Amino acid sequence: MSLFDAGAHSVPLAARMRPQKLEEFVGQEELVGSSRPLRRAIERDAVPSMILWGPPGTGKTTLAEIVARATQAEFTHLSAVSAGVADLRRVVAQAQARKRLGKRSVLFVDEIHRFNKAQQDAILPYVEDGTVTLIGATTENPSFEVNSALLSRARVFVLKALSDDDVAAIVDRALRDRERGLGALEVRLDDDARTALVGLANGDARAALNALEFAAAAAHPEKGVRAIDRAQILDAMQRRASVYDKGGDGHYDTISAFIKSIRGSDSNAAIYWLARMIEGGEDPLFIARRLVILASEDVGLADSSGLCVAVAAQQAVHFVGLPEGFYALAHATLYLATAPKSNAVGRAYSAAMEDVQRTRNDPVPLHLRNAPTGLMRELGYGRDYHYTHDDYDVEQVFLPENVIGRAYFEREKKRRPD
């Protein structure tokens, strides 16, 4: 039987292999391992409304379906991409009818971060009164994407990317299973192919199973066995499953790691995070802008050439673009990571700004004012000012009276990388 024949195998392998009960669930031991709170809640049939937050392919949908099955509740699956307020009202009306009969309803909303405020508000009262138990799944930080009223009525559970061992266990199960998996097709992965598949999946079980299914379909059976080698896996996967989301937490977390690595003078970590961002499709000019900021914020006067290098990198990337623009970004990254460090520029500015915001803003002293007219000169504008190049030994006051004597900038020793 071909993988593309009608029947059970017309359903994608990842969907067929979806665990039906907690005992089959792989990974997320901190959530559903033995004696963990969520597992106990499921087993006691006391599941609260919840938001499942984690990367793709980590089991959010699977866990929601297991919850519904374990609690004997009616399970309704909506995608926030296509569902509207009318769909929510229909689901709520059905749930209210079940509630009158003593039956429970679980509403699973995939990609709940795509619901707008009106849609989230529409479901809120029915979560609060128990008409539905809401299970939302999101790859985005719910603190930013789910409104606070709904968030306060739901527990947030964080799912982590699966380990390589977890992904390998899921792949092996799919290869053995003769009913739902590929066992009947006698698919054989050599060790290098298995290692490549697990590694490129990047903790995403769905990506691993999709690539495995594609490779198995393309493999030519010989003596009843479909042998798959590393090259076939690379062809099926095309590229590593990315966990970098340039519009979400991946974007902010990775640029944070990049900046902190340069600040900490770890050139190896800095160049690694740069490569992660470029591979993930990050805007190279965004990276360049952050390097320009860092050049003054963290290197500053310890090596003023750092700013020149960073600005030159920005101009080079704008002129050249990617892929060759990575040279300029890598150049600036390594220069700044290995440069001596000083944050005196930022500290001086912040101290001055604090006085500007918290103290009286006295007028500019008369001797420092511009005097373009006769009236201004008569009023004393510019009087008693000494042109410094001629009278360099004359002490003058350049601050307003209320902050005279304040020291915002103090020279410091350069902090050189180890």
Per-residue pLDDT tens digits for 300-332: 999 999 999 999 999 999 998 888 889 999 999
Local structure of residue 47 (DSSP, 8 states): P
Mention the CATH class of domain 28-158: alpha beta
DSSP designation for 149? H
Q: If pLDDT is split at 50, 70 and 90, which confidence band does 396 have?
A: confident
Tell whether the torsion through CA atoms of 180, 182, 184 and 185 is positive or negative.
positive
Q: Where in the chain is the domain with CATH 1.20.272.10?
A: 249-338
Which part of the chain has CATH 3.40.50.300?
28-158
Is 415 in a helix, a strand, or coil?
Answer: strand
Q: Rounded distance, CA 50 to CA 72, Å?
A: 17
Is residue 202 scored above 90 in pLDDT?
A: no
- The strand order across the sheet containing 133-138 reads 74-79, 105-110, 133-138, 50-53, 155-158
- List, for residues 269-280, the tens digit of each pLDDT value: 999 999 988 888
Return the CATH class of domain 164-237. Answer: mainly alpha
Contact 97, 48 (CB under 8 A): no
Q: What is the pLDDT of residues 326-379, one digit of tens each?
A: 999 999 999 999 999 999 999 898 989 888 888 888 888 888 888 888 888 888
- Say if residue 7's pLDDT is above 50: no
Contact indicator for 164, 205 with CB cutoff of 8 Å: no
Mean pLDDT of 18-34: 87
User: Taking residues 392-413, what's their average pLDDT?
Assistant: 80
249-338 CATH, one of 3.30.70.60, 3.30.310.50, 1.20.272.10, 3.40.605.10: 1.20.272.10
Q: Is 173 helix (H, G, I), strand (E, B) or coil?
A: helix
Give the tens place of pLDDT for each residue, 101-138: 888 888 999 888 888 888 888 888 998 888 998 999 98
Quick check: 217 and 186 in contact, CB under 8 A? no
pLDDT at 2 over 50: no
Which part of the chain is CATH 1.10.8.60? 164-237
Asked if residue 247 has pLDDT above 60, the reply is no
